[in-house]
Amino acid sequence: MDPLMSQGLELMLVGMGVVFVFLVVLVGITTLMSALVQRFGKAPVAPVAAAAATPVSTATDVPSAAVIKAIEQAVRQHRQSSQS
């Protein structure tokens, strides 16, 4: 076999071996980190009082008549400008 061809084949095998070893090490480290986080990392508990302080929207949150008129006029103006 040509020496240049054998060197190319050798370089390809070494490169593929390095990539394979790197990927195996990467998977191992990721698995180890995941196990450590699940074991030692505790999720913070959300306080119950903060959730209760959030205002709840009711049906009485209706905009005033002036706001409704302004919205109607804006929509009408938009539709007229987009048609021309």
For residue 83, the model assigns a pLDDT of 82
| Residue 46: both structure tokens together | 């959300």
Residue 36, domain extent: 1-42
User: Does residue 24 form part of some domain?
Assistant: yes
User: Does residue 56 form part of some domain?
Assistant: no
- Position with higher pLDDT, 53 vs 63: 63
Under 8 Å CB-to-CB from 63, ≥6 apart: which residues? 71
| Mean pLDDT of the 27-37 span | 96
Give start and end residues of each alpha helix (H) in the chain. Answer: 3-40, 48-52, 65-83
User: Does residue 60 form part of some domain?
Assistant: no
Number of domains in the chain: 1
User: Does residue 17 form part of some domain?
Assistant: yes
**Residue 30, SS3?**
helix
Residue 69 CA to residue 76 CA, distance in Å, equals 11
Res 73 pLDDT > 90? yes
